Amino acid sequence: MPYAQLESYEPKIVLKPPLRVLKNTQQDRPSWIPAHITENWDPCPFAYQTEEELMPAGGLHGQLLTYIAEVVRAPLEKQGLMLLVDTFLLYRDAKQTRRRIGPDLLLMENTFPAPSAYDLDIRPPPRCVVETTSPKSHIKDLEDNVPFYFSLGIETYLVIDAITPKKKLREPINLHLWRRTRGKAYKKIKADSAGYFKLPEMNLKITTQQQRLIFADAVTGEILRDSGQLGEALEEAEKRAKAEAQRADTEAQRADTEAQRADTETQRADTETQRADTEAQRADTEAQRAKVVEKQAEIAFSEGGQKERLIIARNLLATGLELDIIAKTTGLSTNDITALSGK
């Protein structure tokens, strides 16, 4: 059964790389030195690479690695961590011979400058190693590397099965995660109910949506974005801000228009009030004049003078009073009053 389908794995022999530096002697000859070179070999871990070992990987494989490194860089830096991309991991086999392997991504503490290789002679086993499958490495990544990385003491091994044998992006991308358990066995981890695989070493979690890798903060659930996605998000936020500003300006203009309309209505109401006050004053004046005339008529009527009654009737006619009201007030007949008006 392939290791990709195993629920757990526990090898009979576990290699424990010693944390020590051995001298560059014939006895400490690295396995990658060609057989024809017997002395004065190049100690650089990148020397004498075979065609298979040459890095970096290109195409979709390289694009995926670049995308992952970019997306998780900022949150890892805040935790004092970093991912080494396509860097040799130096280890010793059961015979203590130095060997090298180039995992796609390797989690370590953030250092500057980054080491040219991760040497298990001087560093502890990395807490997490990530491999992205390629047509040539598919079986190796999903089967052979499971017991191998376990033997090196690596706690977590994540495989991103993203590239098909025809060098196409797989749909959907598959994720496989193994983690060392308390019982020292390698256990294949299942995704949670939301489809995420948790990576506590990074305080992140990962899932896929068809051909897209999605990283999120393990605590807040916030989706991480690459620089392009951040640029799009910022551009969208800027558009929303402009739209909100325009909406606010429109609302402010509408409020100003309403305020001006309210001022106009207030002014119109004030004018109507003033007109009503003027009419009321005029009515009061007319009422007072009518009272004076009525009083004069009463006086004249009481005195009984025909001449005075005619004068009062003439004055009342001038105010526009009706004939019957004048006749009642002065005691004159309507004929007499009509004669005064000349009608």
Condensed to tens digits (0 to 9), the pLDDT of residues 134-173 reads 888 888 999 999 999 999 999 999 999 988 888 888 888 9
Report the distance separating Cα 98 and Cα 146, nearest Å.
20
Given the DSSP bridges, would you call strands 117-119 and 88-92 parallel, antiparallel or unpaired?
Answer: parallel
- Please choose, from the candidates 92, 86, 75, 153, the residue with its C-alpha nearest in 3D space to the C-alpha of residue 114: 86
Per-residue pLDDT tens over the stretch 265-278: 888 888 888 888 88
pTM beyond 0.85: the answer is no
Place 185 in a pLDDT band, splitting at 50, 70 and 90. confident
Q: Structure tokens of 32?
A: 């990658």
Which residue shows structure tokens 């005064």? 340
pLDDT for res 105: 95
Which residue shows structure tokens 């105010």? 319
